Amino acid sequence: MDINTIATMAGVSRATVSRYLNNGYVSDEKRKRIAQIIQETGYVPSRQAQILRTGKTNVVGVIIPKINSTSISRMVSGLSKVLSAAGYQILLANTSNVAQTELKYLKLFSDTGSVDGIILSATMLTPEHVEALDNLAVPHVILGQKLDGHRCVYYDDYHAVRDVTLFALNHGSHPAFIGVTDEDTSAGLARHKGFLDACHARGIEPEARAQMVADFNVDSGYLICELLLAAYPEVDTLICATDRIAAGAMACLREYGKRIPEDVQVTGVGDSDLARVVTPTMTTVNHHYKSSGEEAARMLLDGLGKAKDSAQQVCMTYELFARGSTRWD
Amino acid sequence: MDINTIATMAGVSRATVSRYLNNGYVSDEKRKRIAQIIQETGYVPSRQAQILRTGKTNVVGVIIPKINSTSISRMVSGLSKVLSAAGYQILLANTSNVAQTELKYLKLFSDTGSVDGIILSATMLTPEHVEALDNLAVPHVILGQKLDGHRCVYYDDYHAVRDVTLFALNHGSHPAFIGVTDEDTSAGLARHKGFLDACHARGIEPEARAQMVADFNVDSGYLICELLLAAYPEVDTLICATDRIAAGAMACLREYGKRIPEDVQVTGVGDSDLARVVTPTMTTVNHHYKSSGEEAARMLLDGLGKAKDSAQQVCMTYELFARGSTRWD
DNA sequence: TTGTACGCGTTATCAT
DNA sequence: ATGATAACGCGTACAA
């Protein structure tokens, strides 16, 4: 069932059928006939042949480190909304947090011509990443990292954590930090630095025993908090790099008889559902993840010539949610 | 940079280059030469041309109602794992919970030949769905619904909620239910029926005012719980269709001075992070979402001839997690 | 307005 | 083992 069949059935040349489907430079009579036949046969043009012929796939490749994460699924949700509205489909590549795989997909998508554009949600940008991005043959947007000379949408992790730390230090003097690996430029390094600078601003120099590293989950938060309590029992303000970690830490503190926020204040990052269902509710700071996805998508559409004049670099704003896990005046 | 360029540069015919890339029926000498040129030029075959020629895309279409949901992102995570291991990529279609869009993508993927197979994560199967599925030109798996004559992986929502309700009713006599719309066959209808049958098994006939419908989120859980308390103040056992709803309900109960579980027991479905960070921890019942994604992917691979003899219909098992939000002996 | 002819880049068939 | 040659299904000058 190809365009030739339709053409002969309708008694026209296949060029006319093609025009009917695209430009539309066809007499009303033949137009009727062709519409009729297409209706009867249920003919649909071959996507692949169109792509080969036109060089346009109407697909954008989306590379993410993992799908099973609230922040990332929110981003993808935003991407999906804007891209599908513009007639694009999403080819999803899950790298399972392996940087090597990120590079693989980056080249694969670009070199084989299977996508019109790429959105890369990266946790870190190695020199290899930068090189691969520089050589990319298709328009692209980096989500979650800043890289000069490339379109990108990133988060102000530094100021976000700095702010929430300063806020908490209004009623605390022995801060501690549970972060994630500094290899993660945003969630790791920037948040850590935000914490440190906030402390310095208050004339506090956090000791090494007051700074620990956890994984991105509740259990790890609990576990590391346990270690922290042993190493630094005088802690009265606990800044965590994610809501999940903070939620685990809160469970741990409760287990050890610490009152929140009377004995220890706790803060997270993310404003996930978790933050609002724990007791007390969690003070946290929120990146606009879904909006960032939408913004990145618009940026890419700009690069594809389907939208105009969007900014090339956008730093997302954040919002501080002061709740029950920190002290008030 | 196409196969012809490589051929001439290597001084061979393009057929030989093609063989080099596929079967490999090439003399060592020419093999070296071709490898050399490909290395130098960085040539990569055009995916689209291969697809047009072979009819194989190595892509599976994944249709989901929304991405921003823990259960669904877990499924996609499982799909992604198995499919990418088998060399397949994922074309993601987010329908934003619009059944019409589900049908659209179903036909689009199938008719245009843009995917080798389809995985449909459906919340309900209308007659239109069934017809579309019956006429599908490519192998497919239905995730989350049972449909005879089709490969599918589904959840035992009925028994799951029945079990957790029976468990809770060991120490309660005034049960209530906060569900989601019955249009959702699994999360709505089946869970509701599980609740009702468990009640009947204990000789209880729940009144209408003890059964309410919420949306899939924390806020809605809070809100509906408020209505429930007004309509049915004697409730001592609250069965919720999702963890999120249950978490919202718990917050509401606390607000109204109800002790959990002394005054009111609460249960959820999902065993999400939420269930483990609320106070008290939440009794819930867990579907193996990620595994279901893996299973569905294997089933599809079977249909594609890349895996053998998998079952055609699989009902996932579930697990009951008895925690602090229900009473013990 | 319509039809003819060509090419998109690849794989597969067939001789050689 | 290798090289012509024919599809795969479509869009689009170009000529009519």
Tokens in use for A301? Answer: 């559409």
User: Which amino acid type is present at position B83?
Assistant: L
Distance of residue B174 Cα from the nearest chain A Cα, in angstroms: 25
Decide if pLDDT at B247 tops 90.
Answer: yes
pLDDT of residue A289: 95
Q: Does residue A41 come out as left (phi exceeding 0), alpha (psi in the -120 to 50 range) or beta?
A: alpha
- How would residue A39 be classed by pLDDT, with cut points 50, 70 and 90? very high
Angstrom CA distances, B150 to B88, B118, B135, stand at 21, 12, 11
Instruction: Please state, as a whole number, how many other Cβ atoms lie within 10 Å of the Cβ of residue B115.
Output: 26
C-alpha span between A42 and A36 (Å, rounded): 10
Helix (H, G, I), strand (E, B) or coil at B60: strand
pLDDT of residue A118: 98
Contact flag, residue B264 CB and nucleic strand C, below 7 A: no
Tokens in use for B79? Answer: 């799909």
Distant-in-sequence, close-in-space partners of A95: CB < 8 Å, separation ≥ 6: A63, A64, A65, A66, A101, A102, A105
Residue B112: list chain A partners with CB under 8 A. 44-48
- Of residues A93, A247, A273, nearest to B89 (C-beta): A93
What is the side-by-side order of every strand in the sheet holding B211-213? B211-213, B175-179, B237-240, B265-269, B283-287, B318-321
Q: Which residues pair with A92 in a beta bridge?
A: A62, B90
pLDDT of residue B123: 87
pLDDT in tens, B14-50: 999 999 999 778 999 999 999 999 999 999 999 999 9
Which residue, counting CA atoms, is nearest to the C1' of nucleotide D12?
A15
Nucleotide nearest to B19 (CA to C1'): C11
Distant-in-sequence, close-in-space partners of B189: CB < 8 Å, separation ≥ 6: B182, B183
For β-strands B89-94 and B59-64, DSSP reports them as parallel
pLDDT of residue B23: 79
Residue A89: list chain B partners with CB under 8 A. 91-93
pLDDT in tens, B148-191: 999 999 999 999 999 999 999 999 999 999 999 999 999 999 99
pLDDT of residue B306: 83
C-alpha span between B234 and B253 (Å, rounded): 13
Tokens in use for A307? Answer: 């939208």
Percent of chain A with pLDDT over 70: 100
Distant-in-sequence, close-in-space partners of A148: CB < 8 Å, separation ≥ 6: none
Chain-centre distance of CA B217, in angstroms? 17
Percent of chain B with pLDDT over 90: 94
CB contact under 8 A, A67 and B73: yes
B328 or A290, higher pLDDT:
A290
C-alpha span between B306 and A168 (Å, rounded): 56
Residue B48: closest C-alpha in chain A: A52
Contact flag, residue A320 CB and nucleic strand D, below 7 A: no
Residues 7-46 of A with CB under 7 A from strand D: 14-15, 18-19, 21-23, 45-46
Decide if pLDDT at A23 tops 90.
Answer: no
- The full length of chain A comes to 329
Contact flag, residue A53 CB and nucleic strand D, below 7 A: yes
Distant-in-sequence, close-in-space partners of B174: CB < 8 Å, separation ≥ 6: B210, B232, B234, B235, B236, B237
Instruction: Please state, as a whole number, how many other Cβ atoms lie within 10 Å of the Cβ of residue A266.
Output: 29
Residue A57: list chain B partners with CB under 8 A. 48
pLDDT of residue B138: 95
Decide if pLDDT at A295 tops 80.
Answer: yes
- How would residue A125 be classed by pLDDT, with cut points 50, 70 and 90? very high
How wide is the angle at C-alpha B139 spanned by C-alphas B136 and B141, nearest 5°? 95
Decide if pLDDT at B308 tops 80.
Answer: no
pLDDT of residue B103: 96
pLDDT of residue B46: 96
Helix (H, G, I), strand (E, B) or coil at A326: coil
Ranges of H-type helices in A189-265: 191-201, 218-231, 243-255
Please say whether the beta carbons of A250 and A282 come within 8 A: yes
For β-strands B283-287 and B318-321, DSSP reports them as antiparallel
Rounded to an integer, the average pLDDT of A245-267 is 98
Decide if pLDDT at A25 tops 90.
Answer: no
Would you tell me which residues 226-265 of chain B have a C-beta closer than 8 angstroms to some C-beta of chain A? 244, 247-248, 250-251, 254
- Residue B175: asked if its preceding bond is cis (omega within 30°), the reply is no
Decide if pLDDT at B282 tops 90.
Answer: yes
Percent of chain B with pLDDT over 70: 100
Contact flag, residue A53 CB and nucleic strand C, below 7 A: yes
Tokens in use for B305? Answer: 């001839």
What does the DSSP 8-state code read for residue A203? Answer: T
C-alpha span between B260 and B278 (Å, rounded): 11
Residue B48: list chain A partners with CB under 8 A. 48, 51-52, 57, 112-114
Mean pLDDT, chain A, whole residue set: 96
pLDDT in tens, B292-301: 999 999 999 9
- How would residue A123 be classed by pLDDT, with cut points 50, 70 and 90? confident
pLDDT in tens, A76-105: 999 999 999 999 999 999 999 999 999 999
pLDDT of residue A161: 98
Is A114 an interface residue toward B (CB < 8 Å)? yes
pLDDT of residue B252: 97
b/e map of B227-253 (b: 16 or more CB within 10 Å)?
ebbeebeebbbbbbbbbbbbbbbbbbb
**CA-to-C1' span, A225 to C7 (A):** 66
Please say whether the beta carbons of B139 and B82 come within 8 A: no
C-alpha span between A305 and A169 (Å, rounded): 48
Decide if pLDDT at B309 tops 80.
Answer: no
User: Crossing angle, helix A14-21 and helix A3-10, to 10 degrees?
Assistant: 110
pLDDT in tens, B186-203: 999 999 999 999 999 999
C-alpha span between A276 and A222 (Å, rounded): 18
pLDDT of residue A279: 95
Is the pTM for the entire model greater than 0.85?
yes
pLDDT in tens, A136-188: 999 999 999 999 999 999 999 999 999 999 999 999 999 999 999 999 999 99
Distant-in-sequence, close-in-space partners of B223: CB < 8 Å, separation ≥ 6: B214, B248, B252
Decide if pLDDT at B271 tops 80.
Answer: yes
